[in-house]
Structure 1
Amino acid sequence: MRPADETGYPEPHPRAYSSLFLKDGADPEDVTADNWRSMFEEPGLLPLDTTEYNSSWAWSAGNVISTTGEMIQVFDAFASGSLLPPAQHRAVWSLVSTEGGNWIPNAAYGLGVFELDPAVTGGLTLRGMGGSMQGSHFAAVGTPDGEQTIAVHTNTEFKTWKVLFNALEAQFGTPPIPGL
Structure 2
Amino acid sequence: MRNSLDCAALDAAMEHVHRAGMPGLFAEVRDGDQVWRGAAGVADVTTGRPVTADMRHRVGSITKTFTAAAVLQQVESGQIELDAPIGRYLPTPVPGESGDTTTVRMLMNHTSGLAEYLPYAYPSLKAFPALADTGPQSLDDHRFTRFDPTELIEMGVTASAVGAPGGAPGMYSNTNYLLLGQLLEQVTGTTAEQYITRNVIERAGLRDTELPAGPYVDGPHARLYEAWFGMIDPPRDYSEYDMSWVWSAASAISTVADLNHFYGRLLAGEIVSPSSLAQMQRTGPVISQEGRTIDYGLGLHPMDGPGRSVFWGHGGTVWGGGTLAMTRADSKRQMAVAVNLQRWNRLDSSGRPQPHPIDDALAALYRVAMHG
TM-score, normalised on structure 1?
Answer: 0.67
Q: Which residue of 2 aligns with 1:137?
A: 322
Q: Kindly provide the amino acid, as one letter, of the partner of residue 312 in structure 2.
A: R
> Offset of 1:95 from its aligned partner?
0.9
Secondary structure of the structure 2 residue equivalent to 1:126: strand
Q: Kindly provide the amino acid, as one letter, of the partner of residue 226 in structure 2.
A: S
Higher RCO, Cα 8 Å, sep 6+: 2
Q: Which residue of 2 aligns with 1:38?
A: none
CA distance, structure 1, for counterparts of residue 313 and residue 212 of structure 2 = 28
Deviation digits for residues 124-158 of structure 1 (CA, Å, limit 9, x no counterpart) = 22222121111111111121121110111111236
Q: Kindly provide the amino acid, as one letter, of the partner of residue 108 in structure 1.
A: D
Q: How does 1:38-49 map to 2 (within 5 A)?
A: 43-46=230-233, 47-49=235-237
Q: Kindly provide the amino acid, as one letter, of the partner of residue 7 in structure 1.
A: P
Secondary structure of the structure 2 residue equivalent to 1:13: coil
Q: Which residue of 1 aligns with 2:341?
A: 156
Q: Kindly provide the amino acid, as one letter, of the partner of residue 11 in structure 1.
A: G
CA distance, structure 2, for counterparts of residue 172 and residue 65 of structure 1 = 23
CA RMSD of superposed structures (Å): 2.9
Per the alignment, do residues 71 and 144 of structure 1 end up closer, same or farther by CA in structure 2, a change over 3 Å counting? Answer: same
User: Gaps (5+ residues) in structure 1?
Assistant: 21-41, 175-180
Contact persistence 1:137–1:153 (CA under 8 A): yes
> Offset of 1:115 from its aligned partner?
1.0
Secondary structure of the structure 2 residue equivalent to 1:56: helix
Equivalent of 1:60, from 248, 258, 280? 248
Question: Is residue 2:312 matched to residue 1:114?
Answer: no
CA distance, structure 1, for counterparts of residue 312 and residue 259 of structure 2 = 14
Q: Kindly provide the amino acid, as one letter, of the partner of residue 170 in structure 1.
A: V
Q: Which residue of 1 aligns with 2:275?
A: 87
Deviation digits for residues 68-125 of structure 1 (CA, Å, limit 9, x no counterpart) = 2112222222333221012321111111145898347xx521122111245xx34322
Equivalent of 2:365, from 167, 170, 176? 167
Per the alignment, do residues 80 and 167 of structure 1 end up closer, same or farther by CA in structure 2, a change over 3 Å counting? Answer: farther
CA distance, structure 2, for counterparts of residue 141 and residue 116 of structure 1 = 8
CA distance, structure 1, for counterparts of residue 318 and residue 368 of structure 2 = 26
User: Gaps (5+ residues) in structure 2?
Assistant: 1-209, 345-357
Q: Which residue of 2 aligns with 1:102?
A: 291
Secondary structure of the structure 2 residue equivalent to 1:65: strand
CA distance, structure 2, for counterparts of residue 59 and residue 111 of structure 1 = 18
Contact persistence 1:49–1:135 (CA under 8 A): yes
Per the alignment, do residues 149 and 7 of structure 1 end up closer, same or farther by CA in structure 2, a change over 3 Å counting? Answer: same
Contact persistence 2:226–2:343 (CA under 8 A): no
After TM superposition, the structure 1 stretch with the greater mean CA deviation from structure 2, 78-87 or 50-59, is: 78-87
**How many pairs align?**
148
Of all paired residues, the percent bearing the same amino acid is 24
CA distance, structure 2, for counterparts of residue 76 and residue 130 of structure 1 = 16
Q: Kindly provide the amino acid, as one letter, of the partner of residue 155 in structure 1.
A: N
CA distance, structure 2, for counterparts of residue 173 and residue 14 of structure 1 = 28
After TM superposition, the structure 1 stretch with the greater mean CA deviation from structure 2, 9-18 or 151-160, is: 151-160
CA distance, structure 1, for counterparts of residue 362 and residue 264 of structure 2 = 17
Contact persistence 2:226–2:238 (CA under 8 A): yes
CA distance, structure 2, for counterparts of residue 111 and residue 63 of structure 1 = 18
Secondary structure of the structure 2 residue equivalent to 1:151: strand
Secondary structure of the structure 2 residue equivalent to 1:152: strand
After TM superposition, the structure 1 stretch with the greater mean CA deviation from structure 2, 155-164 or 107-116, is: 155-164
Contact persistence 2:215–2:241 (CA under 8 A): yes
